[in-house]
Every structure is written in structure tokens, then in C-alpha cells.
Amino acid sequence: MPHQRLNVLKTYKLYIGGKFPRTESGRYMTATNATDGSHIAHYCQASRKDLRDAVVAARSAFPGWSKATAYLRGQILYRSAEMIESRAESFVDELVSVTGQTKADAIREVEASIDRLVHFAGWTDKYSQIFSSVNPVASSHFNFSAPEPTGVVGIVSPDSPELLGMVSLIASTILTGNTAVVIVSKTASLPAISLAEALATSDLPNGVVNLLTGVRGELAPWLASHMDINAIVDGSGDLGILKTLKSGAADNLKRVSDHSFISPEDWFEGAACDPYRILDVTETKTAWHPIGS
């Protein structure tokens, strides 16, 4: 009989602290082709322990990343765009396979994702000047207010557009010096880990971005209630998830920013490019300085 061989399906792992660990739960999910339903890969179903590990990695990376110069952060985001550009064809193929969109639409999304990183890279050394102020006070002092990174940010990615939505939220979060723990869309699990592989070979420090694949409804309550997460950005568009996030966030009064107002088409321009989205994950610090000799 002629020899027959089975394809060895790739198992996409988590991305935590710059490494690609398997989930500690031992649970895996199957990614299928959106057109014919065939199995194309496996990916990890992250657990609560995985999420805690991701938060630890993000917290450890925060001091170094937040103290990096704005110029350096911009260069690193630009380098990340270069790495996606070099793997653009692979991203297009994955988007076509897992979402069923046309190749032309996938090319548009990948190119928009690259451009979005470049866009926000340009804001790293500008947002502080734009959003800072010198405040009038009734005393002999200078009074300055300036935005600063809030810390570790939890991100829930949108279902559509899978790659562009995730890249937009990550870029607008980390450009200020924040670090991120990202729950990716179920339909974007493979492009998300491919993004992680691109980030791992860029200059982005380990732990600045951590990506978790799995069941969003399972991970969201743990993300919301974790006491070492300082803010949450919800791009899911799911009112049930948003309610869960707001309820859990009340425990330590973390801010929850809702991006459900951004339609799938709006992620390509307009609201998703708005620099005011940067302020969703910053805190305003005010300093007083006496005037005189």
C-alpha cells in the first residue's frame, strides 16, 4: 500500500513575558478553516494561572518600559511594524483561512495594521506636549499637568477586524509606557500568536505585551478582578463582557474604557486613530513649582 502521512498541525502557544509557554491547564482548542471546516491548527485555552503569570510579566516590564524615552518607544513600535511587513503574506493567509474573508480584504487589513503601528509610533513623543497644560493658580507657583502611563492594562480584543482591532488597542496602550495583558478574539487566535512571533523578534522588551488565547467569557472575570491590573480597554463589543468587566473593576476602582462605539469599518480610520484614545490609559500628574529666587 502507498504510504500516507498526516499533516502535523501547529500548536500555537501563549505569549507571556517574551516566551511561548503552553497553557498550564493542558487544554487546547482547534482552529478550523472558515470555508470548509477542516482543522488547520491547535491553540492554547488559557487558564486563570496563565492570566496571573501574564500580569506578573507585565508588572515586571512596566518600570523599564515606562522609563524608556519617548523616542525609543517610537522606534520600537516602528520596528514592530517592519516585522509585520516582512511577514505580511503569512498574516494574509491566516486571516483568509480563519475568517473566510477575501484575500483583498485580508491584504487591506494587514496593511492597515502596519500603518496603525506607524501612526501611533509617531505619537510617542507628541502626546505629552499635546495633552499637557500649564494651569493658572492664585499663588506664586508654576502649576503643570501632564499625562503619565497608568500601569498594567487589560485589553479585550474585538472580533472584527481581528488583527487591526487588536493592533490598534495594543499600540495606543503601550506607546505611553503602559504594559498590556491581551485577551484575543477567538476568531483571531492564530493571527494573534503570529503577531506575538513578530513582536518577539522585534526590539519590544519582554513582558510589555502578553497575549492569551482561549475563552473570552472565562478569562474576562479574572481580568477584571485582578488587583494588579490598573485599567481595562474593552473592544469586544459584547455587552455581557462589558458588564462583567465593570463589575469586577469596581473592586479596585480600575478604569474601564468601552470601545463598542467603533464599528468594524471605523477601525480602519477615524475613531480608531483618534489620539484621544491614548488618554484612556493615562493618569494626569500635576506638579507645583515655586516662582522666585
For the segment 186-241, what is each residue's pLDDT rounded down to a tens digit?
877 888 989 999 999 888 999 999 999 999 999 999 999 999 999 999 999 889 99
- The mean pLDDT of 174-180, rounded to a whole number, is 97
Percent of the chain whose predicted confidence (pLDDT) is above 90: 66
- The mean pLDDT of 135-154, rounded to a whole number, is 90
- Residue written as cell 488565547? 213
pLDDT of residue 208: 97
pLDDT of residue 256: 94
- The mean pLDDT of 269-288, rounded to a whole number, is 89
Please, what are the domains in the chain?
11-290 (3.40.605.10)
Q: Is 17 or 139 the better-scoring residue by pLDDT?
A: 17
Q: What is the tens place of the pLDDT at every residue in 16-67? A: 999 999 999 899 988 888 888 888 888 999 999 999 999 999 999 999 999 9
Q: What is the average pLDDT score of the chain? A: 91
What angle do helix axes 70-86 and 162-174 make, rounded to 10 degrees?
160
Helix (H, G, I), strand (E, B) or coil at 36: coil
What are the helix (H) ranges across 162-265? 162-174, 189-200, 216-225, 239-249
Is the per-residue pLDDT at 293 higher than 60? no
Of 17, 4, 6, nearest in space to 212 by CA:
17
Q: What is d(CA 289, CA 226) in angstroms, rounded to the nearest whole number? A: 36
pLDDT of residue 270: 78
Helix (H, G, I), strand (E, B) or coil at 31: strand
Q: The whole model's pTM is what?
A: 0.93
